[in-house]
Structure 1
Amino acid sequence: MNGIAIVVGTFHKAETERMLATAVASIKERGLELRAVVKVPGSYEKPLAVKRLLLRDDVAAVVVLGIIERGETAHGLVMGQSVSDALIQLQLEFMKPIGIGIIGPEVHPSQIPPRLHPHADAAVAAVEVMLRGAVEE
């Protein structure tokens, strides 16, 4: 019930390794079980890696980590929108939560460091809430 997998992009390797360490620690602190860590080159590869993990019986949720930095063209905006849409569709298709801890799109390099830990932790927190049952008020 509580097996979590992580998909993390390696394009910003130093930064995403910090995000990964935060997510792993957050999973352990919450009493969840880490089942797998899958590293992919960038954001466009994340939906396929997530789908492969969601097909596994021992994976109840996936946390997705990465960074989509501001570029000189609209490439990052297009990437951010298409990846977000694909991840939301996978969540609905498999009825398993996906915590999206992708910083950006359009993030400026100076904005990345203070967002690494909060985004990773929030993605884990989101799947925990959904696994335990969303609270109605």
Structure 2
Amino acid sequence: MNILEGKISLKGDEKVAIVASRFNHLITDRLIEGAKDSFLRHNGNEKHLDLILVPGAYELPFVLDRVLANKGYDGICTLGAIIRGGTPHFDYVSAEATKGIANATLKYTTPVSFGVLTTDSIDQAIERAGSKAGNKGFEAMNALIELINLYKKLS
């Protein structure tokens, strides 16, 4: 049986963007740090890493679609943090951000990873942004690197 899978290693010439939400920056700043750490640890060249900041998670799909349409990147890592509050706002934002990112990803041939946290509390978000549950930004970049390599094998 032939197994096709991507490796978590870059050559150093891949151009990658992180599209991240500024809202809940206490959390998203840590996710961005984790994603950058993964990129550099796996042979990425910092000159080829761009950070694109958007106001909130709801805006991620719109900017992602525009970035994908320009075809200037080998891969894009989306990051954000949506934390449940006392209103239904969480449900609307998380659903639309998730669907929008998925829809934009399906329109283009560029790999995209999903690193948007949807948590019930600030404590859960902190746990996923670098404390006891690891850093989901790091994990999202790992997934993106693997996808970049897998897409190359599938083309």
Contact 1:6 1:38 in 2 (8 A): yes
State the superposition RMSD in angstroms: 1.9
Higher RCO (CA 8 Å, separation ≥ 6 residues): 2
* 1:61 is aligned to 2:78: no
Counterpart-to-counterpart distance in 2, 1:57 and 1:44: 22
Q: Deviations over 1:43-87 (max 9, x none)?
A: 111112112221233301111111100111221112111111111
* Secondary structure of 2:73 counterpart: coil
* 1:28 is aligned to 2:40: yes
Counterpart-to-counterpart distance in 1, 2:44 and 2:65: 20
Contact 1:35 1:59 in 2 (8 A): no
User: Once the two structures are aligned, what percentage of the paired residues are identical?
Assistant: 22
The alignment's TM-score, normalised by the length of structure 2, stands at 0.78
Counterpart-to-counterpart distance in 2, 1:107 and 1:30: 32
The alignment's TM-score, normalised by the length of structure 1, stands at 0.87
Unaligned runs of 5+ in 2: 1-12
